[in-house]
Amino acid sequence: MKGDLTAIADEGLTADMMPSLWIAAQWVMRHGSELLSGDLARDSGKAAATGSAIAFPLVCRNRPIGVLVGIDPLPSAALPALSASLSLAIRSILEAPAIALDNALSLQRLEAESVTDDLTGLHNSRFLNVVLRREAKRASRSGRPLSLLFLDLDGFKQVNDTYGHLAGSKALVEASGIIRGSARETDIAARFGGDEFSVVLPDTGCEGAVSVAERIRDRIGACVFLASDGLSVHLTASIGVATLPDVAASADELIRAADVAMYRVKDAGKNGIHIAQEAPAF
């Protein structure tokens, strides 16, 4: 649990009831016990809350993992009436859903971890291959373009050699934040391996892909890495751009084209962008 709450199911919930929902749910998660309130604004001390509420924790392995909340938009002068036997029955009924929810959340976390790079928090190469194949098929069916950026951090080896691998890892994390922040919401950023990154750009032609690449390269070049450690490290980026169907007809061809384009930048002196002009021959 990171403390973030989200509604996974609701019935009859309106927008003006949402503040009361979150306030009631947060109270239950914080205290780990049921909430009976005739006037949420009075009991919570928060003016945003309105109405009355009954809320029960979903408990699994002795910890609350969710909350079942019932909201009435109108406050009441009296507390909601629940007998001890009814409260016990409700808690007993909620045991099975709590276990099922915990299992579902655990599976969701495992699935997320399996496609996430441990260091940077970006997607990993496994997810990149899956999503690229999916998007390539979709692009072929729809006739829409699909672009891929391959990015390598110039001079990164020197960071490791000079300051050590812990500093190098921190620089990778900082670079990944720049890449993620420079990509658009619909783009998929991934760490391909080492100091190489990829960005999948669905429904994006060459011109749009180059715009994203330029933004990433400029921001990496302007960044002072490891400044929080009292260091002043500067890196640049070599980026290859490939677009389906311009230079590739499949996900594998797109990867090869972007990779070759990136190494063209390396061979030409680094810190630049190269657009794949034709499918590489192998």
Catalytic residue numbers, as ranges: 195
> For 280, which DSSP code?
P
Q: Name the token pair of 8.
A: 């996974």
Distance CA 254, CA 201 (A): 12
CB 254 within 8 A of CB 133: no
Residue for token pair 């979903």: 58
Print burial letters for 196-216: b (CB count within 10 Å at least 16), e (below 16).
bbbbbbbebebeebbebbebb
Question: Residue 13, Cβ neighbours under 10 Å: how many?
Answer: 14
Alpha carbon distance 171, 177 (integer Å): 10
Token pair recorded at residue 154: 């110039």
* Dihedral over alpha carbons 146, 269, 157, 129 (to 10 degrees): 10
> Is 124 in a helix, a strand, or coil?
coil
Consecutive H or E run containing 25: helix 18-31
Least Cα distance to 236 among 190, 265, 276, 272 occurs for 272
Give the containing element (helix H, strand E) for 210: helix 206-222
